């Protein structure tokens, strides 16, 4: 090759090379802000379920998407802090667990898409205007379903045949819990039960709440939210010490000695939340995606706890259970 031709070739390559390198530079990964209401140890499994389903849809953490995890640790006051941080980070989608985090995210931004994985009564709480077309920048999954409180109390009554006096432990700082309280009280009235509400707002309130429970209380209904999930072992341990059978809304709350759980299948909720996020990342407006309702429910019975409390679980109920802990 002649020297002039060689120089021309090199010069041309030098002119093209920066453009080629620039074209091969990876684009910025979309960022998902995932806000859990509990802690990584207590809710890590739902984050894993969410991430796994995203991966099946092509969104692999660290390769095609980046997920930023934050945990409210059962403290509702953390909700605004987390939502504000995600807005500052300019994430592409915010995924939230629970009503307080959802409402905080909605107040923090009207532009960033928000997907709630678990919210009780999103219309009643003003999270969305309606379920088929939520509008705005928000959609997700409701875990509110009719008659679940009645179903839980019916199951509890079958195992505790002499049930007359019911205590309800509720985080009254959580707006959705006030709605559940009304449902439980109505269901209890139908069964002719006397109700005592045990109000909590922080982890420090749990032990004193048990101290205030009257000795003649027959059972405890625990309203599920980030606070009670995070402190489930403490709650169930204290309940066992007080010889109180408990009923909850999801299986994870049986850890530490809970008796019965009945409610929407939590992993299914997070798989479906991942599917909604997939649609959003591919360009669908959140307000055009209908809010979904539960389709799968789980009944879990802890026979080990029943034996410790001297209770007999009807065999017919065991056959209906999705899981029996022995």
The pLDDT tens digits of the residues spanning 43-61 come to 889 999 999 999 999 999 9
For residue 113, give the 3-state DSSP assignment: coil
Instruction: Give pLDDT, residue 43.
Output: 87
Give the whole-angstrom CA distance, residue 102 versus residue 121.
12
Whole-number pLDDT of residue 214: 67
Q: Strand (E) positions, 178-259?
A: 194-200, 219-222, 246-248
Tokens of 136: 């705005």
Structure tokens given for 23:
């074209």
Do β-strands 194-200 and 114-119 pair in parallel, antiparallel, or remain unpaired?
unpaired
Residues forming a β-bridge with 68: 33
Angle at 62 between CA 61 and CA 68, to 5 degrees: 65
Q: What is the mean pLDDT of the chain?
A: 89
The pTM of the whole model exceeds 0.95: no
Task: Locate 96 and state its tokens.
Answer: 């939230």
- CA gap 39, 20 in Å, rounded: 45
163 phi/psi in degrees, rounded to 5: -65, 120
Phi, psi of 42 (to 5 degrees): -85, -25
Nearest Cα neighbor of 220 from 159, 263, 265 is 159
CA dihedral 179, 49, 264, 43 (to 10 degrees): -40
Write out residues in the chain with pLDDT < 50, as ranges.
1-25
CA-CA distances (angstroms) from residue 17 to 9, 20, 27, 28, 315? 12, 5, 18, 22, 74
Domains of the chain, first to last: 31-143+265-296 (3.40.50.2300), 148-264+298-325 (3.40.50.2300)
**Residue 146 pLDDT:** 67
């Amino acid at each position: 090759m002649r020297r002039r031709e060689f120089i021309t070739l090199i010069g041309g390559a030098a002119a093209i090379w920066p453009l080629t390198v620039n074209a091969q530079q990876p684009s910025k990964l979309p960022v998902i802000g995932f806000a859990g209401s509990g802690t990584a140890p207590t809710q890590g499994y739902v984050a894993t379920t969410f991430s796994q389903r995203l991966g099946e849809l092509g969104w692999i953490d660290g390769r095609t998407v980046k997920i930023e995890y934050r945990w409210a640790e059962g403290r509702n006051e953390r909700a605004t802090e987390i939502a504000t941080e995600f807005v500052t980070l300019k994430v592409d989608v915010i995924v939230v667990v629970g009503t307080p985090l959802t409402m905080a995210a909605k107040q923090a931004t009207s532009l960033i898409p928000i997907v709630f994985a678990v919210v009780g009564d999103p219309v009643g709480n003003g999270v969305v205007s309606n379920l088929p077309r939520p509008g705005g920048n928000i959609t997700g999954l409701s875990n509110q379903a009719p008659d679940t409180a009645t179903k839980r109390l019916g199951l509890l009554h079958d195992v505790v045949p002499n049930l007359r006096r019911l205590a309800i432990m509720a985080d009254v700082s959580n707006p959705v819990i006030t709605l559940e309280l009304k449902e439980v009280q109505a269901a209890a009235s139908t069964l002719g039960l006397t109700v005592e509400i045990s109000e909590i707002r922080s982890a420090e309130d749990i032990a004193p709440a048990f101290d205030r429970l009257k000795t003649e209380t027959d059972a405890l209904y625990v309203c599920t939210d980030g606070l009670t999930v995070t402190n489930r072992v403490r709650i169930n341990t204290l309940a066992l010490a007080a010889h109180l059978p408990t009923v909850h809304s999801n299986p994870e709350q049986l850890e530490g000695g809970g008796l019965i759980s009945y409610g929407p299948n939590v992993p299914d909720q997070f798989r479906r939340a991942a599917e909604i996020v997939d649609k959003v990342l591919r360009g669908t407006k959140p307000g055009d995606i209908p809010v979904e309702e539960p389709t799968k429910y789980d009944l879990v019975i802890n026979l080990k706890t029943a034996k410790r409390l001297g209770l007999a679980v009807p065999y017919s109920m065991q056959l209906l259970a999705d899981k029996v802990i022995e």
